[in-house]
Homo-oligomer: A and B are copies of this chain.
Amino acid sequence: MNTQKNLDRLARLCVQFGLGLRPGQELVLTADIGAIDLVRRITREAYAAGASNVLALYADDESTLARYTHGSETALETAPGWLYDAMAGAFRNGAARLAIAGNTPGLLAGQDPAKVARANKAMSSAARPMLEAITSGATNWNIVPFVTEGWARQVFPDLAPDAAVERLWGHVFAALRLDRDDPVAAWRENFAELERRRAHLQGLALDALHFEGGGTDLTVGLARGHKWVGGAQTLEDGTTYAPNLPTEEIFTMPDRARTEGRAVFTKPAVIGGSIVEGLVVTFEAGRAVSIEAEKGGDVAREYFTTDEGASFLGEVALVPESSPIARSGVLYFNTLFDENAACHIAFGNAYAMNLSEGADPEEAGMNKSNIHMDCMIGSPAIAVTGIGPDGARHPIMADGEFVI
């Protein structure tokens, strides 16, 4: 495997296909400082594509930790809102947004969960205007992964660090179709398939989805006027972009008040740097009324009560078990991958793009929150049934695979 060459191909894929960067457009990217090699390749690629400016904002694990190890109580509740506001303004003025996702999972595992929750709350509240600018369709955006040693060691704890990094890059490049002769053609093909199923589900105009199997028995009521979304997005000016790379999901908006039953989560969730395993949640009238976990239950309960909306759902998504990521059999401890390996629901904020034009958010039951946390419920045991407004039952997935 030629990692250098593949990183260049990743930079090109992300600028030209993922972002669809326009000549003259500004690019604002965020990355962990460990991903600087990819940042530099993307910067060159973006300038070559005609970017007017490329600005990289870096996060650093050690500085993140210093807030907990050396910071005051005030520091835990402070976030640089002025910076997020300024970024929101830049996106509204047309700057493209790229996030390189390469954090160290479990970084904050040794910290007090209550402190982690307070810091997360301050951060997500400050970042909210920025999140809204991005998700409201103001600009083209893209998230791509970067393999850090911390991530690789967690995924492959039995390998030497170098070998773990190389093995994980191998899976990441495969998931990104960078092992194909023509990655962009491969993505176009995948997006066509996503679009076919998306249109089919939209045509069914369902009232709810029922997930059953492996201990899960969950009915997710869908928002009135819900819109199924997946694969590529298009801005008003015609710019086409792919928010997530890799992406295998089609997803829509739940009615916040109409989720009922029990969800057994099939993969760990990484919440503010802590890992939550064996999560089981019971819903009544949309609210998570019982949150239990084998590990990290306190972190989950804190996080899902960050604000009122954090206990309700903002997204429901379908992913077949035959997706390349699921087939790799690897547990990635990383939402960008694990959410594309399995059907999932998300606690917290709903995406405006999942509501049809003219639909009333209030009436539809659109959820609002400062958080958005995807949690996986898919497995080879899961069956998904669509329930029409008339009560008719439409088989959607069986044994974890689409039947549409």
**Residues of A bordering B, CB below 8 Å:** 23-24, 26, 28, 33, 36, 39-40, 43-45, 47-48, 50-58, 60, 62-63, 66-67, 69-72, 74-75, 78-80, 82-83, 85-86, 89-90, 93
Contacts and interface: CB of A to CB of B under 8 A. Distances in A.
A41 to B, nearest CB: 9
A57 B60 contact: no
A233 B80 CA distance: 26
A147 B66 CA distance: 23
Give the number of copies in the complex. Answer: 2
Closest 3 CB pairs of A and B: A86-B86, A47-B70, A47-B71
A149 B52 CA distance: 30
Nearest to A54: B63
Nearest to A79: B53
A111 to B, nearest CB: 14
A56 B66 contact: no
A20 to B, nearest CB: 17
Contacts of A78: 26, 52-53
Contacts of A45: 70
A40 B53 contact: no
A93 B82 contact: yes
Contact of A63 (B39, B67, B71, B83): B39
Contacts of A40: 60, 62-63, 66
B82 A89 contact: yes
A60 B40 CA distance: 9
Max chain B CB contacts within 10 Å: which of A24, A55, A56, A71?
A71
B48 A70 contact: yes
Given A26-B80, A47-B71, 14 more contacts: A33-B36, A39-B63, A40-B66, A43-B63, A43-B66, A47-B69, A51-B72, A52-B72, A52-B75, A53-B75, A53-B80, A55-B83, A56-B58, A56-B60
Contacts of A48: 70
A69 B93 contact: no
A54 B66 contact: yes
Nearest to A61: B40
Contacts of A50: 72, 74-75
